[in-house]
Amino acid sequence: MDVEELSFEEAFKELEETVRRLEEGDLTLEESIALFERGQELARYCSAKLDQAELRVSKLIPSAGGYEEVPLEEEP
Amino acid sequence: MPDNYFTVSQITDYIKELIEVDPLLQDVWVEGEVSNFSQSTLGHIYFTLKDEGASIRCVMWRSLAERQVYLPGDGEAVIAHGHISIYEARGLYQFYVDTVQPAGLGSLYLQFEALKERLAAEGLFAEEHKRPLPPFPRRLGVVTSPTGAAIRDILRVLGRRYPLVEVVLSPTLVQGDEAPPQIVAAIEALNRYTDVDAIILARGGGSLEELWAFNDEGVARAVYASRVPVITGVGHEIDFTIADFVADVRAPTPSAAAEMAVPDREELKATLASWSERLAQELARRIKEKRRAFKAEEEALLRLSPRAKIEGYRQRIDDLMRSAASNLGHRLALLRERLRGRILQLESLSPTGVLGRGYSITRHLGTGQVVKSVAQVKEGDRIGIRVSDGEFTGTVNE
């Protein structure tokens, strides 16, 4: 599955598993290289997500159907 | 004069001891009206608590009085907590007060205790009901006032630690009579209309009355019923509200609640770096291992190949020939030796060899026979004498 489509948690967990498999597994050299490359891709993806600067905040307010989220304006 | 009499100090000590071992008198709430309130230059406060039938002198030391938001005034109805003891020098018993509030609030404490006991008995505080927090929340709900320090602190902490989380603020009043139903509605709205992974229920510091909304039964039940795990961060470290007991996790303050809700990105980045390192090291190790294994196989293969076999055979032939040659040489030498020996033998036996030693061969010239005995010659016969290097003739003389 494309790394970009994973959530942070999924990517982080898959990376942990990849490290474990590479260290413990009975693997051919091709498999080892493939795991290594996937692992590095996952690590880069997770790192990029963490470096995201802005916290996204919205506000839940009553509306016609029930409640909806709207962007939060700067607090006073 | 009676035999058993006491000194003033002794009897006073006796009374003091009686009072000090009594558990009720050492931990008691007393309600009454304040009078004669004063504050000494050192900051200690003195007043009297009275009702229709009696009065009791009260002292509150400065260190305790300083902690009071509220100080009693003459004529006010208050409820005070402390212990009773004796002031020996003046023969007085006094009420040493550690906390005092307006009388109305006393009932608040009692209400708090009663509700706490009732909900605990119902199982609302049970550990088994409490859910673990998701380690990597994608969305976080926050129930608090949209103004005020709590939301600002929470957003600041989340932005620093884990900005990839999305925050949904469900705004509410956080004090006053209108607050509890709004808090309930805010929690329910997050549960029903959003997909948040956890909820922070927060309010900044305040007095017991200001935090009172979080002791509301409806709020407690809404926290308990929440499908989404709830973290409370209400007031300061020392404040415990009913909502705190029901919550899945209690944090001492709003900031602490935000810290518990999300992981710290610096720690996560350190883990990522360590894993990256391990991947690289492991791959390098495997390549090295494979290379070593490959080389060993290559060597084994060379040992088994036909070329190797031929080389081997060639070597053996070489060795054999060398040893054969040395054998042959040996035998030739032996034969040569024997031959030389024979030659010597022959030479020693041959006539010419004998002649060399001085012997001669005599021949009768008449008969041509070799003379071996004197009988073969008589006087006057002609003989030939052969020596090693030639011949000469002679005549037998006798």
Contact assignment for A36 to B138 by CB distance below 8 Å = no
Q: How far is A36 from chain B (nearest CA, A)?
A: 6
B221 vs B127: CA distance, rounded Å = 16
Q: How far is A18 from chain B (nearest CA, A)?
A: 8
Given a cut of 90, is residue A10 above it in pLDDT? Answer: yes
Contact assignment for A58 to B286 by CB distance below 8 Å = no
Write out chain A residues lying below 8 Å of B269, CB-based: 47, 50
Q: Is A12 on the interface with B (CB under 8 A)?
A: yes
Q: Among all residues of chain A, which has the CA nearest to that of B158?
A: A55
Write out chain A residues lying below 8 Å of B280, CB-based: 36
Contact assignment for A52 to B136 by CB distance below 8 Å = no
Domain ranges of chain A: 3-71
Contact assignment for A67 to B167 by CB distance below 8 Å = no
Q: Is A22 on the interface with B (CB under 8 A)?
A: yes
Q: Beta-carbon neighbour count of residue B277 at 10 Å?
A: 12
Q: Are B12 and B86 in contact (CB under 8 A)?
A: yes
B324 vs B312: CA distance, rounded Å = 18
Write out chain A residues lying below 8 Å of B168, CB-based: 57-60, 69
B129-263 belongs to which CATH class? alpha beta
Contact assignment for A43 to B276 by CB distance below 8 Å = yes
Q: Are B202 and B143 in contact (CB under 8 A)?
A: yes
At residue B101, the pLDDT reads 84
Contact assignment for B166 to A40 by CB distance below 8 Å = no
The answer for residues whose C-beta is within 8 angstroms of residue B199's C-beta and 6 or more apart is B140, B141, B142, B143, B187, B190, B226, B228, B229, B230, B231
Q: Are A6 and B138 in contact (CB under 8 A)?
A: no
Contact assignment for A75 to B151 by CB distance below 8 Å = yes
Q: Is A8 on the interface with B (CB under 8 A)?
A: yes
Determine the 3-state secondary structure of B332 from DSSP: helix
Write out chain B residues lying below 8 Å of A36, CB-based: 279-280, 282-283
Chain length of chain B: 398
The per-residue pLDDT string of chain B (398 residues; one tens digit each, 9 = 90 and over) reads: 788 899 999 999 999 999 999 999 999 999 999 999 999 999 999 999 999 999 999 999 999 988 887 788 888 889 999 999 999 999 999 999 999 888 876 567 778 888 998 999 999 999 999 999 999 999 999 999 999 899 999 999 999 999 999 999 999 999 999 999 999 999 999 999 999 999 999 999 888 888 999 999 999 999 999 999 999 999 988 888 999 999 999 999 999 999 999 999 999 999 999 999 999 999 999 989 888 988 888 888 877 777 777 788 888 888 888 888 888 888 888 888 888 888 888 777 777 667 778 888 888 888 888 888 888 888 888 988 888 888 898 988 86
Write out chain B residues lying below 8 Å of A27, CB-based: 286
The CATH homologous superfamily for domain B8-109 is: Nucleic acid-binding proteins (2.40.50.140)
- Nearest Cβ partner of A69 from B135, B136, B168? B168
A38 vs A18: CA distance, rounded Å = 8
- Nearest Cβ partner of B279 from A19, A52, A72? A19
- Paired tokens of A55: 């916290």
A27-76: pLDDT as tens digits: 888 899 999 999 999 999 999 999 987 899 999 988 876 777 777 765 44
Domain ranges of chain B: 8-109, 129-263, 276-311, 357-395
Mutate to test the interface with A, among B142, B276, B292 (most CBs of A within 10 A): B276
At residue A76, the pLDDT reads 42
Write out chain B residues lying below 8 Å of A26, CB-based: none
At residue B10, the pLDDT reads 94
Determine the 3-state secondary structure of B15 from DSSP: helix
B191 vs B141: CA distance, rounded Å = 9
Contact assignment for B165 to A43 by CB distance below 8 Å = no
DSSP of B114-175, one letter per residue?
HHHHHHHHHTTT-GGGPPPPPSS-SEEEEEE-SSSHHHHHHHHHHHHH-TTSEEEEEE---S
Write out chain B residues lying below 8 Å of A63, CB-based: none
Write out chain B residues lying below 8 Å of A20, CB-based: none
Q: Do domains B8-109 and B129-263 have the same CATH topology?
A: no
The most distant pair of C-alpha atoms in chain B lies apart, rounded to whole Å, by 205
Contact assignment for B164 to A46 by CB distance below 8 Å = no
